[in-house]
């Protein structure tokens, strides 16, 4: 894709949201947030960081719709992504088997060749549902009027965000860990792309994101002082991926970044990194590496000085992000040499003839 046609603000947000996912893991899954003593500065700081980046997954989902609604459904795109997943899955498995055989304890052989059905990466497995519904959603945006599309959006919002919060997960939103939630995010992202009439008010929307983030942080703190079960469950529900609060954070960020302009240097860097960003999740979030190197491996820093805690979680997140981008650049070059995308495009020709 030519550079001038790139949505550079959205590309930048894609990169930042993937970094946010790494930071989310290095703050939460790492053990820092669960080991911090409630009421301490470390505890509040860890949860504030969590509140800042908790919407990152939703941002990534909204971007898929924002970009995808104007694109064409191609089986080659999904197969390319599947091969990328499988590339890292096999590579990490044999690397671990060679270097640290104990890391693969609990890793089932079916996960090696069936990453989708085995739910090796929850997001990729859920994305399969998005890909299946993508042509239907895109066709809806081409044929239905704005009023009809708005009603559908409202109904989906009620089904997947409001009802789970006040009644229960009747429609299987899975607290945001589900294909149905990612389908909703795709639809919402497409809706923003098609009907957004607000331009060049990035600072205002960024302020909105900050306000909602502070609200999310306060909601968590309030949970410590509420004993009534229903209210406690309600507050807990507001700190889930499918929470209206967390969704609002992501929406504000989409509006803040969609019309953003960058200087030529930052533009080139952003556009170069964007196609590689998903690999950051595939590498550091792989079951083997995630449990061996991240989950509950950084508890010690929950009791260190707040500066050391932030330095470790932030510094390691930067290191992981940059390292994974460099690794995927090599993978990208290998795929180019093997002409993987060119070969897969033959599937598109075959599908058209069906």
pLDDT digits (tens, 9 = 90+) for 305-339: 999 999 999 999 999 999 999 999 999 999 999 99
Is this model's pTM higher than 0.85 or not?
yes
From the CA atom positions of the chain, what is the Rg in Å? Answer: 21
* pLDDT surpassing 50 at residue 257: yes
Q: How confident is the model at residue 14 (pLDDT cuts 50, 70, 90)?
A: very high
Candidates 136, 106, 156; CA nearest to 290 is: 106
CA–CA separation, 257 and 186 (whole Å): 17
Average pLDDT for 260-270: 92
Residue showing tokens 């964007």: 274
Residue 1 is predicted with a pLDDT of 37
Residue 225 is predicted with a pLDDT of 77
Residue 4 is predicted with a pLDDT of 43
Residue 261 is predicted with a pLDDT of 86
| Region of poorest pLDDT, from 40-44, 107-111, 162-166, 288-292 | 107-111
Three-state SS for 285? coil
* pLDDT surpassing 70 at residue 230: yes
41-45 long-range contacts (CB < 8 A, ≥24 apart) are 41/306, 42/302, 42/303, 42/304, 42/306, 42/309, 44/221, 45/306, 45/309, 45/310
* pLDDT surpassing 90 at residue 234: no
Q: How confident is the model at residue 199 (pLDDT cuts 50, 70, 90)?
A: low
* pLDDT surpassing 70 at residue 52: yes
Average pLDDT for 266-287: 96
* pLDDT surpassing 50 at residue 12: yes
Residue 200 is predicted with a pLDDT of 66
- The CA distances from residue 281 to 6, 31, 221, 222, in Å, are 22, 19, 29, 31
Percentage, residues of the chain above pLDDT 70: 97
Average pLDDT for 214-240: 84
The mean pLDDT value of the chain amounts to: 93
Average pLDDT for 180-206: 90
């Amino acid at each position: 894709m030519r550079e001038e046609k790139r949505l550079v603000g959205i590309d930048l947000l894609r990169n930042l949201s993937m970094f946010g996912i790494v930071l989310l893991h290095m703050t939460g899954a790492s053990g820092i947030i669960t080991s911090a003593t409630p009421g301490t500065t470390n505890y509040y700081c860890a949860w504030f960081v969590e509140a800042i980046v908790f919407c990152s997954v939703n941002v990534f989902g909204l971007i898929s719709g924002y970009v995808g609604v104007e694109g064409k459904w191609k089986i080659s795109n999904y197969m390319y992504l599947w091969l990328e997943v499988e590339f890292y899955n096999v590579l990490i498995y044999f690397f671990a088997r060679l270097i640290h055989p104990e890391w693969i304890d609990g890793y089932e052989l079916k996960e090696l060749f069936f990453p989708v059905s085995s739910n090796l990466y929850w997001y990729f497995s859920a994305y399969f549902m998005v890909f299946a519904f993508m042509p239907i959603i895109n066709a809806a945006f081409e044929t239905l009027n704005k009023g009809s599309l708005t009603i559908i959006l409202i109904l989906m919002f009620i089904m997947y965000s409001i009802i789970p919060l006040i009644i229960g997960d009747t429609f299987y939103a899975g607290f945001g860990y589900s294909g149905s939630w990612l389908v909703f995010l795709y639809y919402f992202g497409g809706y923003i792309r098609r009907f957004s009439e607000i331009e060049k008010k990035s600072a205002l929307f960024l302020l909105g994101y900050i306000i909602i983030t502070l609200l999310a942080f306060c909601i968590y703190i309030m949970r410590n002082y509420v004993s009534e079960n229903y209210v406690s469950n309600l507050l807990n529900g507001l700190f889930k991926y499918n929470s209206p609060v967390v969704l609002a954070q992501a929406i504000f960020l989409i509006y803040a970044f969609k019309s953003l302009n960058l200087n030529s240097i930052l533009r080139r860097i952003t556009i170069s990194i964007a196609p590689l960003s998903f690999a950051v999740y595939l590498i550091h979030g792989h079951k083997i590496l995630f449990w061996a190197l991240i989950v509950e491996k950084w508890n010690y820093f929950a009791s260190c000085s707040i500066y050391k805690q932030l330095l470790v979680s932030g510094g390691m997140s930067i290191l992981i992000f940059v390292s994974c981008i460099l690794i995927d650049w090599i993978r990208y070059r290998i795929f180019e040499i093997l002409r993987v995308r060119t070969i897969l495009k033959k599937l598109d020709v075959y599908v058209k003839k069906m």
